[in-house]
Amino acid sequence: MYPIGNESWSMTKEKDMIEYVKKYNYLVIFPDKKVELFKSLRDIQNSISIDSSTISKKLKNDEHIFTAKGSEFIFYIQVIGK
């Protein structure tokens, strides 16, 4: 999530922040406490190696903690859009 074109690193208007967040549907907290926004489950899948269908099923059951197979890394995923 880096600025593209004329985007700046910080926003000073509430309207700009709302428009920015509306572009994303998911918030993911990584094991190293990094927080990242994603537009799709496929994007998350590519980043954390957990199948998008697994993520979808668990989110529908109001589950938010995910562990990548073959590792002990834990991720938190929250739907913020849609």
- pLDDT tens, residue by residue, 18-73: 888 899 999 999 999 999 999 999 999 999 999 999 999 999 999 999 999 889 99
Cα–Cα distance for residue pair 30/65, rounded to 1 Å: 11
Cα angle vertex 68, ends 41, 53, to 5°?
35
**For the whole model, what pTM was predicted?**
0.82
Q: Is residue 3 part of a domain?
A: no
Tokens at 25, concatenated: 């549907």
Q: Is residue 11 part of a domain?
A: no
Q: Is residue 14 part of a domain?
A: no
Domain interval for residue 67: 26-79
Q: Is residue 17 part of a domain?
A: no
Task: Give the CA distances from residue 30 to residues 19, 70, 77, 81, in Å, rounded to whole numbers and listed in that order.
Answer: 24, 16, 9, 19
Q: Is residue 50 part of a domain?
A: yes
Q: Is residue 2 part of a domain?
A: no
